[in-house]
Structure 1
Amino acid sequence: MIAQTWRMGVSPEEISQGLPHLTLAQVFDALSYYSDHQDEINTYIERNRIPDD
């Protein structure tokens, strides 16, 4: 969810404000993990996307 939200243009600071149970450092950790595993995570995001129709 963090990677997908960030891909939509939401800043890490805004993400942590919207998810107050996570610290800003945890958001950056998630984005760092995403950076190292983009292909795998992007495939997972696409596979779980709900069709618009």
Structure 2
Amino acid sequence: MTEQTLRKESTGHPYIVIQTDVCDGSPIVEGTRTRVIDIAIEYEVLGRSPDEIITSHPHVNLYQIHDALSYYYENREDLDQKIKQDQEFVKRLKVKIPSKMV
């Protein structure tokens, strides 16, 4: 591995990091592949409480969930843009690769 792939950025949040070689550099809960935006979507869109989110991510603690949400709110504009880009990518894939289930 090169030095570039091992790069880890501090975010100013104790449990959130950005690693260029994990999840395309999306902010994640340190030591996991759980993206901040996935936690934010569960909270904001699905209306799940932090305690409920833990059931989907049992490897993440409650304080890590709260830190991820804090990071999301501090960086909401950028992360909402990333969510939108991901949604557009999925739409393009659905057109390109239609479901075989009818």
Do the structures match in fold with TM over 0.5? yes
Equivalent residue, structure 2, for 1:4: 41
Q: TM-score when scaled to structure 2?
A: 0.49
> Larger C-alpha radius of gyration, 1 or 2?
2
Q: TM-score when scaled to structure 1?
A: 0.89
Flag structure 2 segments of 5+ consecutive residues without an equivalent.
1-37, 96-102
> Quick one: distance in 1 between partners of 2:55 and 2:65?
10
**Aligned residue identity for 2:83:** I
Equivalent residue, structure 2, for 1:27: 65
Task: Looking at secondary structure, tell me which structure has more strand per residue.
Answer: 2
Q: Which runs of 4+ in 1 moved over 6 A?
A: none
CA RMSD of the aligned region, Å? 1.3
Task: Looking at secondary structure, tell me which structure has more helix per residue.
Answer: 1
Choose the corresponding residue for 1:48, options 86, 92, 96: 86
> Quick one: distance in 2 between partners of 1:18 and 1:25?
15
Flag structure 1 segments of 5+ consecutive residues without an equivalent.
none
When the two structures are aligned, how many residues end up with a matched partner? 53
Give identity over the alignment, percent.
Answer: 34
